[in-house]
Amino acid sequence: MSSNIPYKTYLSEGEVPCEWYNVRADMKKKPAPLLVPSTLKPCTPKDLAPVFCDDLVRQELDDETAFFPIPAEICDFYRMFRPSPLIRAYFLEKALGTPAKIYYKFEGNNTSGSHKLNSAVAQAYYAKAQGLKGVTTETGAGQWGTALSMACAFFGLDCRVFMVKCSYEQKPFRREVMRTYGASVTPSPSMTTQIGEKINREHPGTTGSLGCAISEAVEAAVSNPGYRYVLGSVLNQVLLHQSIIGLEAQAAFRKLGEKPDVIIGCAGGGSNLGGLIAPFMGEKLRGESDYRFIAVEPASCPSLTRGRYAYDYCDTGRICPLAKMYTLGADFIPSASHAGGLRYHGMSPVLSELYDQGLMEARSVRQTDVFAAAQYFARTEGILPAPESSHAIRAAIDEAIKCRENGEAKTILFGLTGTGYFDMTAYQAFNDHVMGDYVPADEELEASFAKLPEVPAT
């Protein structure tokens, strides 16, 4: 470790970015607009106002403004857990014997355990600024619900979380973290919403799904005055907030006088990957620099690598707007993969469009290969990674090994989105050698694609 590059690079408070970057502003061909489900017409601010708060609607629909100033209250909150470190993976490089330089941007040093807090605090802030009483949301694995609970506790907002019933029962510790932050956590489907009642009546004993929890959370928001619904991924606004990850990474690389060749992130709905690559993609779109971008998704839920680029519903309940995105179909039920945060049938419309334009690569990896990388990383770099993040680790290790084989000293950056402290059941399955690999058959995907909605060309 004789290099003059430190193991960890922190920006000073004065160097921390004070604006979010909106990559859509630099895209010549923009992502397709959201559509209203009842009319299949592009969503207007009025269509979205009952669901999202006003400032967030503006951010959602604005594909021209490149930079949005970050409000001072959000900057203050960011100081609690940001800047996150850019870490030079010296120990991993040494263990792999690779000439590659490996960096990772680590977002896990906060109680939510992931990057989700970056957008949660923004969404809570705007809700508070609009004078709302509270927000509703759904959570599966629990990272997003935890992040939102923390943000709501800080701003004094009520927070109602619909947690997929099987997770509610299997992950009592996640639930308790949310309760400690003052959130109410309801197992979904519940009897507190009409849709929940209906599902419970039609499917007695069901343990719920993310799609159902979304529907309940949206219903709870629109039927309670002073409440709005918030979402932790997929949306343009979320990618905007998450750009803080990439902006910090970009500033840190400039400070070090270094530059990544390859940028890698895991991709579920796209919040982390979209945030990490945003400013670098901006450079590429403006013709200032070239980078390779790699999205890594689970082989069990391969929306980019095996999905269709089409309009589809964002939720299985089909009450949310339609988005044009790479999708496996809103009815596709991902297998019980342990990377809960990547079990989404679609992909951010921004990332989908960038991928479609050939500006980004994608690959899928199998679960056991992912956990082998996770364990290797934990033992060499000391951080126990989240299963989601470990998809990026797998690809980064594979790229570094390629560099060793080719004798290339490339600079690799990957996003380490979070820690795996609440995912030990999955690690246990791996440690006990009982973890399986599921890959959907072509027929399964074709059957799901057949149910994609028909949307007239606009």
**Nearest-approach distance from CB 109 to a copy of itself, in angstroms:** 5
- What are residue 58's phi and psi, to 5 degrees? -60, -45
Q: Which of the stretches 27-35, 297-305, 327-335, 382-390 binds a copy of itself when contact is defined by CB under 8 A?
A: 382-390
**Closer residue to a copy of itself in complex, CB, 18/153:** 153
Contact 297, 267 (CB under 8 A): yes
Among 204, 205, 287, 382, binds a copy of itself (CB under 8 A): 382
Pick from 111, 112, 110, 134: which is nearest to 124 by CA?
Answer: 134
Instruction: Work out whether 427 is an interface residue with a copy of itself (CB under 8 A).
Output: yes
**Is the backbone of residue 433 left (phi > 0), alpha (psi -120 to 50) or beta?**
left
Q: What is the DSSP string of 221-244?
A: HHTSTTEEE--SSSSHHHHHHHHH
Interface with a copy of itself includes 173 (CB under 8 A)?
yes
Q: Which of 30, 41, 379, 451 binds a copy of itself (CB under 8 A)?
A: 379
CA distances to 69, 158, 236, 322 from 42, in Å: 27, 31, 15, 9
Which stretch in 71-79, 231-239, 254-262, 360-368 sits in contact with a copy of itself by CB under 8 A?
71-79
Give the C-alpha separation, 264 to 108, whole Å.
Answer: 17
- 380 contacts a copy of itself (rule: CB under 8 A): yes
Query: Which of 36, 378 has the CB closer to a copy of itself?
Result: 378
Q: Does 15 bind a copy of itself (CB under 8 A)?
A: no
Question: Applying CB under 8 A, which part among 200-208, 349-357, 374-382, 395-403 lies near a copy of itself?
Answer: 374-382
Residue with tokens 């967030």: 56
Our CB check for a copy of itself shows the closer of 235 and 251 to be 251
Question: Collapsing DSSP states into helix, strand and coil, what is residue 184?
Answer: strand
User: Should residue 68 be labelled a site residue for a copy of itself when binding is judged by CB under 8 A?
Assistant: no
Q: How many residues sit in the footprint of a copy of itself (CB under 8 A)? A: 45
Q: Which of 373, 384, 396, 416 touches a copy of itself by CB under 8 A?
A: 384
Which residues, 144 to 163, sit near a copy of itself by CB under 8 A? 150, 153-154
Q: Which of residues 296-355 bind a copy of itself (CB under 8 A)?
A: none
Q: State how far the Cα of 331 lies from the Cα of 369, in Å rounded to an integer.
A: 27
- Where in 184-226 does DSSP place strands (E)? 184-188
- Rounded to an integer, what distance in angstroms lies between the CA atom of residue 347 and that of residue 269? 5
Select the span of 77-85, 135-143, 332-340, 355-363 touching a copy of itself (CB under 8 A): 77-85
Helix (H, G, I), strand (E, B), or coil: what is residue 138? strand
Is residue 230 within 8 Å of 137, Cβ to Cβ? yes
180 touches a copy of itself by CB under 8 A: yes
* Nearer residue to a copy of itself within complex by CB, 309 or 427: 427
C-alpha–C-alpha distance, residues 215 and 190, integer Å: 11
Neighbour order of strands in the sheet with 86-88? 8-9, 86-88, 101-106, 411-416, 262-266, 292-298, 361-365
Q: Could you tell me which stretch among 54-62, 307-315, 329-337, 419-427 binds a copy of itself (CB under 8 A)?
A: 419-427
Rank residues 348 and 419 by Cβ distance to a copy of itself and give the closer one: 419
User: Is residue 13 involved in binding a copy of itself (CB under 8 A)?
Assistant: yes
Side-chain-side CA neighbours of 18 within 13 Å: the count stands at 8
C-beta closer to a copy of itself: residue 311 or 414 = 414
Q: Identify which of residues 223 and 425 has a Cβ nearer to a copy of itself in the complex.
A: 425
State the Cα–Cα distance between residues 136 and 214, nearest whole angstrom: 9
Q: Is 100 in the site for a copy of itself (CB under 8 A)?
A: no
- CA 368 to CA 437: how far, in whole Å? 7
**424: contact with a copy of itself by CB under 8 A:** yes
Q: Is 170 among the residues that bind a copy of itself (CB under 8 A)? A: no
All residues at 6 or more sequence positions from 204 whose CB lies less than 8 Å from its CB, including other chains: none
Residues found near a copy of itself in the complex (CB under 8 A): 1, 6-8, 10, 12-13, 76-77, 79-81, 91, 109-111, 113, 150, 153-154, 172-173, 176-177, 179-182, 375, 378-384, 419, 421-422, 424-425, 427-428, 430-431
